[in-house]
Amino acid sequence: MSPVARSGGQALAGLALAALCGAAPAADGAALFAQHCAACHQADGSGTVGLAPALKGEHWARLGAQRDYLPAVLLKGMAGSIKVNGQTFVGSMPAFAGTLDDASLAAVATHLAVLQGETQRAPYAAADFAAARSAAGDPSKTRQLRRQVLGE
């Protein structure tokens, strides 16, 4: 058997084993972001004037350092007035706790770190979201967390 045929057979065997074991492919954070977030926040995270704030900029240095911030926003949503890059946004970010599983949310959060230029930040894991999912919270508490982290 040729090396190419052997490696192709090994790949198929690996896929079959993963299917039998119930292993799912890793979630694609960029694709999930495009599907669930980019309509408001744009594909590059630059936001939409008057609708959705930028997901990158100076404020993200502090927000990104608070490891539980993104899980809170993605799971619990956020509502009320926030200020980003000098612009006030009043609206509601939907909660994705009922839409995406923990692994998918971790992939989205890790993609956000990439959009923000964070190359040294540890990737989010499903466990980060499982812990946040079980914690109490709601959109107004998420906004309070944001204000606390930013010192507003």
Q: What is the CATH number of the domain that holds 93?
A: 1.10.760.10
Residue 11 belongs to some domain of the structure: no
Q: Is there a domain that residue 45 lies in?
A: yes
Count of structural domains, the chain = 1
Mean pLDDT, all residues of the chain = 82
Report whether pLDDT(26) > 90.
no
| 3-class DSSP string for 81-135 | EEEECCEEEEEEECCCCCCCCHHHHHHHHHHHHHHCCCCCCCCCCHHHHHHHHHC
pLDDT digits (tens, 9 = 90+) for 35-57: 999 999 999 999 998 899 999 88
Q: Each residue of 10-25: pLDDT tens digit? A: 333 333 323 333 344 4
For 72-126, the pLDDT digits (tens) are 999 999 999 998 888 899 989 999 999 999 999 999 999 998 888 887 888 999 9
The CA distance from 30 to 16, in Å, is 26
Are 95 and 85 in contact by the 8 Å Cβ rule? The answer is no
Domain that holds residue 47: 27-150
